[in-house]
Structure 1
């Protein structure tokens, strides 16, 4: 079951009926979104550990890397149980976030990183709530619960840096998409290549999140 396309105009359409409950197109798309979010945020978290000049941003980076590694493991496990193919790269838009932040000066990086994560995770939080309230599949409910906790943690830790530009974050979060579907869709994985896995930072002091059963 290929899970890298954007959901069609029929997100409620049932595409599978496993023992864990009916699976809709929106459910499948959600698993892909969680995977893609982890792929770009994990990269940015590692960047924060290497690039930032402030302790608060490095702390946020460590939280992102550790949490995204844990959530990614749950996402890959759920996808495997449901037969959903996951991408190994984030969407072109998300790759753009990474490239822009990589080009920032160390002084500018903190504000841009905190604001971007706050805006994108704010959007993801709304998606999680929608999927959690409508899905009929127990595995999707469990993944949504874990994703909800992770995203709230990320929003909180970047807000604690004091560097979030809230006007810009809310504008990005609430503006309708202006990019074509191609830019919002992760590319399919390369055939024959091992699946990309996300790992916690070396010497991480962030406790792994308990797995939601």
Structure 2
């Protein structure tokens, strides 16, 4: 009787161990898709500006010249606006945003003036009437009122020039303007993020994007359908594979258990 009790305790211990192993295998199988997804995340790429030439070659269109003018005008009012943020705001976050935007526009202004010199483009030397009006609003405001005006005006201005940059980057024939557009895009995207980090942007008040005017191309529709089919097929394949692995894990555990099961000694027949 004592021998039977010892065997039962030992068997229970081995079963608990093997069950733990099986559960661990199942958990690893189920977690694998998430782990693979995290490992494949490439992060946010930085455009390789050094791959774009800057020789001034290529036709300079009226749109290219207008773009350079807009970049110059942006710096002419946003540099003093950033300086005012450092002096008039009581919020350290707004002060830092103003400092960063002013410093970055100083660099961007150097880039656009160098491009304009190479391409013989005349640039303005003072902000336009609208920009001077925005600066006037900021000069007349203090504290939280200044913070709101500063963020609202700069966020709206960056939102307007953002799509214009994309149009020039995609269509210009001139390599110097192409490089300027790419660099400007990086500056403007950074400024949008900085301004939004103030938590003062009311996204419900931003302009609504116009509805699409053309139907998607047939090739795009077919590609989307194919991608959807591949995704569905992938999900259909993944579930059976996981199920098979789970069953196999428990099967292996069972076989090992059978191997480890202590054999009961044969009872001898007694002949009388």
| TM-score, normalised via structure 1 length | 0.70
Contact 1:48–1:61 at 8 Å: present in 2 too?
A: yes
Contact 2:89–2:142 at 8 Å: present in 1 too?
A: no
Q: Deviations over 1:85-114 (max 9, x none)?
A: 111101101111111111112221111111
Match among 59, 63, 72 for residue 22 of structure 1: 59
Match among 13, 37, 42 for residue 74 of structure 2: 37
The alignment's C-alpha RMSD in Å is 1.6
Q: Deviations over 1:29-78 (max 9, x none)?
A: 00000000111111100000101100110111011111000000000000
- Structure 1: where are the runs of 5+ without partners? 1-17, 176-213
Q: What is the 5 A alignment of 1:164-183?
A: 164-168=201-205, 170-171=206-207
Residue 97 of structure 2 aligns to a residue in which SS? helix
Tell me how far apart the structure 1 counterparts of residues 70 and 56 of structure 2 sit (CA, whole Å): 23
* Counterpart in the other structure of 1:205: none
- 1:113 and 2:150 matched: yes
Q: Deviations over 1:132-162 (max 9, x none)?
A: 1110000001100111000011100010011
Q: What is the 5 A alignment of 1:189-208?
A: none
Q: What is the 5 A alignment of 1:1-213?
A: 20-168=57-205, 170-171=206-207
The total of aligned residue pairs comes to 156
Shift, 1:116, TM fit: 1.4
Tell me how far apart the structure 1 counterparts of residues 209 and 150 of structure 2 sit (CA, whole Å): 18
Contact 2:73–2:124 at 8 Å: present in 1 too?
A: yes
Change (3 A) 1:19 1:57: closer
Runs of 4+ that moved beyond 4 A: none
Shift, 1:167, TM fit: 2.9
Q: Which has the larger radius of gyration?
A: 2
Contact 1:111–1:165 at 8 Å: present in 2 too?
A: no
| TM-score, normalised via structure 2 length | 0.55
Name whichever structure is richer in helix by fraction.
2
Tell me how far apart the structure 1 counterparts of residues 79 and 183 of structure 2 sit (CA, whole Å): 16
Change (3 A) 1:19 1:126: closer
Tell me how far apart the structure 1 counterparts of residues 153 and 140 of structure 2 sit (CA, whole Å): 14
Shift, 1:174, TM fit: 6.3
Q: Which has the higher contact order (CA 8 A, sep 6+)?
A: 1
